[in-house]
A and B are shown apart, each in its own frame.
Chain A
Amino acid sequence: MSKIELPLTTESRKELKAGDLVELSGVIYTARDQAHKRLVSLIEGEKELPLDLQDQTIYYAGPAPARPGEIIGSIGPTTSSRMDPFTPAILKAGVKGMIGKGNRSDDVIKAIKRHRAVYFVATGGAAVYLSQFIKKMELIAWQELGPEAIYKLTIADLPLVVAIDSEGVNVFEK
Chain B
Amino acid sequence: MTSNNTRAGSQVLAQLIANYQDAAAKKMPLCQDCGYITAFAKLGNMVVIENGTLSEAIQGGVAAAYNNHNLRQSVIADAFFERDNFKPRRMARIHTSLIRGEVLKITIMPKGGGSDNASRIKMMKPTASPEEILEFITDTVKETAISACPPLFIGIGIGGSFDTVGTLAKKALLENFEKPNLDPKLDKLETYILEAVNKLGIGPGGLGGDVTALGVSVLTGPSHMASLPVAVNINCNSLRSVELEF
Q: Pick the interface stretch among A48-56, A68-76, A110-118.
A: A68-76
Cα–Cα distance between A62 and B114 once the two chains are bound (Å):
13
Residue pair B72, A125 in contact (C-beta under 8 Å)? no
Given contact pairs A102-B146, A129-B15, A129-B18, A124 touches B114 in the complex (Cβ within 8 A): yes
Say yes or no: is A78 at the interface (Cβ < 8 Å to chain B).
yes
Measured between alpha carbons, how far is A123 from B31 in the docked complex, in Å? 11
> Which residue of chain B has its CB nearest to the CB of A162?
B8
Please measure, in the bound complex, the distance between the C-alpha atom of A21 and the C-alpha atom of B12, giving whole angstroms: 11
Selected from B22, B70, B206, the residue in CB contact (under 8 A) with A73 is B70
The 0/1 profile, CB within 8 Å of A marked 1, for residues 2-32 of chain B is: 0000111001100110110011001011111
**Residue B172, interface by CB 8 Å:** no
Q: Mark A36-61 against chain B: 1 for CB-CB distance below 8 A, else 0.
A: 00000000000000000000000001
* Distance from B223 Cβ to chain A, minimum over Cβ atoms (Å): 32
* Count, chain A residues at interface, CB 8 A: 42
**Docked pose: A115 CA to B107 CA in angstroms:** 49
Which B residues lie within 8 Å of A78 (CB)?
33, 114
Find residues 64-116 in chain B having any chain A CB closer than 8 Å to their own CB.
70-74, 83, 85-86, 114
Q: Which residue of A lies closest to B24 (CB)?
A: A128
Q: B32 to A103, Cβ gap below 8 A? A: no
Q: Is the CB of A62 within 8 A of B32?
A: yes
Q: Which of the segments A6-14, A89-97, A143-151 contacts the partner chain?
A: A143-151
> Measured between alpha carbons, how far is A147 from B149 in the docked complex, in Å?
20
Distance (whole angstroms) from the CB of B215 to the closest CB of chain A: 15
Interface residue tally of chain B, by bracket? 35 or more
A146 contacts B8, C-beta separation under 8 Å: no
B232 at interface by CB-CB < 8 Å? no
Q: Contact check, A79 vs B117: say whether CB atoms are below 8 A apart.
A: yes
Task: Report whether A123 and B70 are in contact in the complex, using a CB–CB cutoff of 8 Å.
Answer: no
> B72 near A101 (CB under 8 angstroms)?
no
Partner of B236, one of A124, A144, A146, A174: A124
Q: Are A64 and B117 in contact (CB under 8 A)?
A: no
- Given A64-B34, A127-B33, 9 extra CB contacts under 8 A: A64-B71, A64-B72, A101-B147, A123-B12, A127-B29, A128-B19, A128-B23, A128-B29, A147-B32
Q: Which residues in B have some Cβ–Cβ distance to A below 8 Å?
A: 6-8, 11-12, 15-16, 18-19, 22-23, 26, 28-34, 70-74, 83, 85-86, 114, 117, 146-149, 205-208, 236-238
Q: Which residues of A contact B (CB under 8 A)?
A: 19, 21, 34, 61-67, 73-76, 78-81, 101-103, 121, 123-132, 144-148, 159, 161, 171-172, 174
Residue pairs across A and B with Cβ atoms less than 8 A apart, 5 shown, are: A73-B32, A101-B149, A102-B148, A124-B147, A171-B208
* Interface pairs A-B: 8 shortest CB-CB: A102-B147, A124-B149, A64-B72, A129-B19, A146-B85, A126-B19, A128-B22, A65-B70
